[in-house]
Amino acid sequence: QSALTQPPSASGSPGQSVTISCTGTSSDVGGYNYVAWYQQHPGKAPKLMIYEVTKRPSGVPDRFSGSKSGNTASLTVSGLQAEDEADYYCNSYSGSKILVFGTGTKVTVL
Amino acid sequence: QVQLVESGGGVVQPGRSLRLSCAASGFIFSTYAMHWVRQAPGKGLEWVAFLWFDGSNDHYADSVKGRFTISRDNSKNTVYLQMNSLTDEDTAVYYCAADPPNGGWRLESWGQGILVTVS
């Protein structure tokens, strides 16, 4: 199972937007609308932020949004806040392989 | 509220076995699929294993297939991960996660994680 490809880092100033990409194949990201995004602060468990490409769980701010085009999914954080500084991971359903995670992106709020 | 609490971690010698437990509360455990996910020190998340809500269907990452077994006891609201033939590459924080019954393949709730060190 090959990991989905994410940029190692991304950054933005408070109030700005940052977009993280997650590139897979037609066997995972491109083949299913089951892409999720997780936020992980240091030493903490991951937290679900987006599921089924665009849906937000209850309690997640609408500053977080997801999209997908072909084999690449994206997470956009608008109106960056200090507490958004964290690691972000995508994952996708991948058929018989069930789930595959992305390599992770460290978001820094400048 | 939803709570998942892992236990059973620790230091184990290469080649030995360990069983992790994850006790669930605050939701109807018997309707949720369950996953185990691990994170090696300083590394990213790796999906490890999945078990259907009734225990009828399981899947494993290639890295653990044939060595790890996921199981559950719905009467005890607990999911387990039996880990055999451990190697140093299995050293990681192990998280259990709950996947709700209405599909979506999403890990809605996570435990706090438990450290397994193979040394």
pLDDT tens string for chain A (110 positions)? 689 999 999 999 999 999 999 999 999 999 999 999 999 999 999 999 999 999 999 999 999 999 999 999 999 999 999 999 999 999 999 988 789 999 999 999 99
* Record: contact B104-A52, CB cut-off 8 A: yes
Whether residue A75 contacts residue A22, with contact meaning beta carbons closer than 8 Å, is answered with: yes
Q: How does DSSP assign chain A, residue by residue?
A: -PPBB--SEEEE-TT--EEEEEE--TTTTTT-S-EEEEEE-TTS--EEEEBTTTB--TTS-TTEEEEEETTEEEEEE-S--GGG-EEEEEEEE-GGG-EEEB--EEEEE-
Interchain pair B44, A47: CB under 8 A: no
In angstroms, the CA A102 to CA A84 distance is 18
- Measured distance CA(A92)–CA(B110) in Å, rounded: 17
What secondary structure, in 3-state letters, does chain B show? CCEEEEECCEEECCCCCEEEEEEEECCCHHHCEEEEEEECCCCCEEEEEEECCCCCCEEECCCCCCCEEEEEECCCCEEEEEECCCCHHHCEEEEEEEECCCCCCCCCEECCCEEEEEC
Whether residues A103 and B44 touch (CB distance < 8 A) is answered with yes
Band of the pLDDT at B102, cuts 50, 70, 90? confident
Single out the residue of A11, A98, A101, A12 nearest to residue A48, CA to CA: A101
CA–CA separation, B65 vs A104, rounded Å? 24
Give the pLDDT score at A1: 63
Answer for the pair B106, A53: CB distance below 8 angstroms, yes or no.
Answer: no
Q: Does A1 touch chain B (CB under 8 A)?
A: yes
Distance from CA of B16 to the nearest CA of A (A): 25
CA–CA min distance B80, chain A (Å): 18
Task: Give burial (CB, 10 Å; 0-12/13-18/19+) of A43.
Answer: exposed
Average pLDDT estimate for B83-103:
95
Beta strand B114-118 with B92-99 is antiparallel
Best mutation target, A35, A98, A101, A105, to test chain B (most B CBs within 10 A): A98
C-alpha A91: how far from chain center: 8
Contact (Cβ atoms closer than 8 angstroms) between residue A75 and residue A90: yes
Give the integer Cα–Cα distance in Å for A29 and A93: 7
Q: What is the pLDDT of residue A65?
A: 98
Say whether residue A45 is in contact with chain B using an 8 A CB cutoff. yes
β-pair partners for A65? A76
Question: Average pLDDT, stretch B71-100?
Answer: 98
If you measure CA to CA, which chain B residue comes closest to A36?
A: B106
